[in-house]
Structures are given as structure tokens and as C-alpha cells.
Structure 1
Amino acid sequence: MVDRASDVVEAVGSALDADVNFLLARANAMSMSAANRALAPLELKVRSYSVLALACAAAPPSQREIAEYLRLDPSQVVALVDDLQKRGLVERRADPSDRRTNVVGATPTGVELRAEAAAATQAAESELYVGLSPAQRQSLTRMLRTVAFPTE
């Protein structure tokens, strides 16, 4: 049975090995899995870490801005912010430029945890992409940034 399964994987794989959408999805799944394992001791996952990282910005974003940037449904962001707020990592504050809007800012504890989480995810990334040279990793980052944030 294992031989049949590997034959199928080989046959299907050869059909997908040049499919950019498949390759991006597979690389994303591998990357998310590695990052989530690295973040687990900090009781974070990639999505909550992403929200925390954005909350550490000099100009904290609104929940709507976080949702747009991360391409998440606003209700998902509310749940992520609620969880981070319960842990004392972020707080909702009135936006100084528009009191009707709340921004999400990191607490000092959140800033510290974000630094630990960044180190953990960078270590996981280094492990995952060990087969790439530094120049290849920079090139991959540039290309993904171009795809993720196209100029309009």
C-alpha cells in the first residue's frame, strides 16, 4: 500500500511541481506549522502573533486596519484582540485622531513577548529554509512581498 501511495504522490506531484498556487500553499502550510510549533511555548499562534506585532507599531492600527492587512474577517480579529487583551498583551485605546475609533496598542508585556516570539519565529524560519542561501532568502522575501503587496 505504501508503494501505491508513493506512486500516486509521485504522479500527482509531477503535475503540481510547477503550479505556483500549489507550491505557495504547501510552503505556507509548512511555514505556518513550523511557526506555530515555535510559538506554542509562548501560548501564541501565527495569527495572534501577527496581531501582537502590528499592535507594537509606533502608530497602533485599528481592528479594521488589522483585519485588512492580515486579510482576516473582522470578527476573527475581534476574537484575537480579545484573547491578547485578556492576557494583558494589548489594549484598546481611543484613536487620538478619531475618538469613535479604537486602536490596538501593545502593553509593555506585549512588547516583550513580541520580541521573544519574533526570535522564535526567525529560528523556525531559518530551520525551514536551511536549503536556501541568504541571497535566495532575500530574493524569496522580495518576490513574496511583491505578490502580497502589489502596487496599485
Structure 2
Amino acid sequence: MSTMQDKSQREDDGYDFTRQVGHLLRRVHQRYVAIFQNHISDPQLTAVQFTTLCALRDRGPSAQRDLVDYTAVDQATIRGIVARLKARGLVELGPDPEDGRKVIVMLTSAGAELLDQVIPAARGITELAYGELNPAERVALDYLLRKMLAS
């Protein structure tokens, strides 16, 4: 089939990938990550590292498996994130007091201090990510995203 015929067939089938939810979600995520990196007050901190630090602050010392569940980040990625945060002195590793075979990740005082410093910027990043959505649209977006995740 020629290129012109391929294009004609695509136009006829009515499928426009740019209008598909997966494509739109990916683009929104890319936009969010760019906003985060451009506005976070610590340029070495990634959005996923920030999420991991927040999970440790909120949940307390955690096994890496638990961090996977809390953050929805895969096991291999969380291992790398923990290693980078540890190298910066933001987390430390230690034995689980209930099961000495397990290693837990703990937020250090430096990690807690960094969170205190960057959370105001993170709030601003959320505002920038919402863009021109009005308050009702923001609530609707949050509701719909959570509903999609629950199904």
C-alpha cells in the first residue's frame, strides 16, 4: 500500500491517536514533569524522588516493597531512587525491628528538612499544573483521575 493510501485509510477509520486518553495522559504527565523540574527549589530532586520522600514522611520507615505500593513506582526504579536519596543523605537504610532479614528505608533529618523547604514550591507546581482550570474543573479532574485509577 502506498503512503497516500495508508494516510487515506487512517483518515477513513476515524482513529486519531492524538485524541486517545493514553496519549493525552502521557502528554499531561510530560508537562507536569517539566513544570516540576523547572520550578522545584532543589534542581537535583525529581518528582518521583519527592513522592518517595513524602511517602516516607507520611508512612514512616518502610520496606522498599511497601514504597512500591505507596508510590506506584516499580521495584527496579524504587531501588535506584532509594540509592540516589541515600547518596544525598536524605534517607538511610536499617534493619526492620520486627524482621531482621528485612531492610527498611528511613527519612533522615536532612530529608525532612528538604521536604519542609520544597513543599511550598510543590504547592505552586500543582497550581501551575492545573493551568487555567477553574475550581470546579480541578475537583472534577481529581475525581475522574481517581475513578480511573480505582477501576
TM-score for both structures, normalised by structure 1 = 0.76
Aligned length: 138
Q: Distance in 2 between matches of 1:34 and 1:71?
A: 21
Which residue does the alignment assign to 1:22? 23
Which residue does the alignment assign to 1:4? none
1:27-106 aligned at under 5 Å gives the runs 27-39=28-40, 41-106=42-107
Q: Distance in 1 between matches of 2:91 and 2:113?
A: 12
Contact 1:42/1:117, CA 8 A, preserved across alignment: no
Q: Give me the CA root mean square deviation.
A: 2.4
Contact 1:84/1:90, CA 8 A, preserved across alignment: yes
Whichever of the two has the greater Rg, that structure is: 2
- Stretch moving more, 68-77 or 52-61: 68-77
Query: Secondary structure, in 3 states, of the residue corresponding to 1:100?
Result: coil
Can you list the C-alpha shifts for 1:85-144, whole angstroms capped at 9, x where unaligned? Answer: 121111112223322212212112211211332222221221232311122212212222
Which residue does the alignment assign to 2:4? none
Contact 2:94/2:103, CA 8 A, preserved across alignment: yes
TM-score for both structures, normalised by structure 2 = 0.77
Point out where structure 2 has 5 or more consecutive residues left out of the alignment.
1-10
In the alignment, is residue 139 of structure 1 matched against residue 140 of structure 2?
yes
TM-aligned CA distance change 1:117 to 1:145, over 3 Å? farther
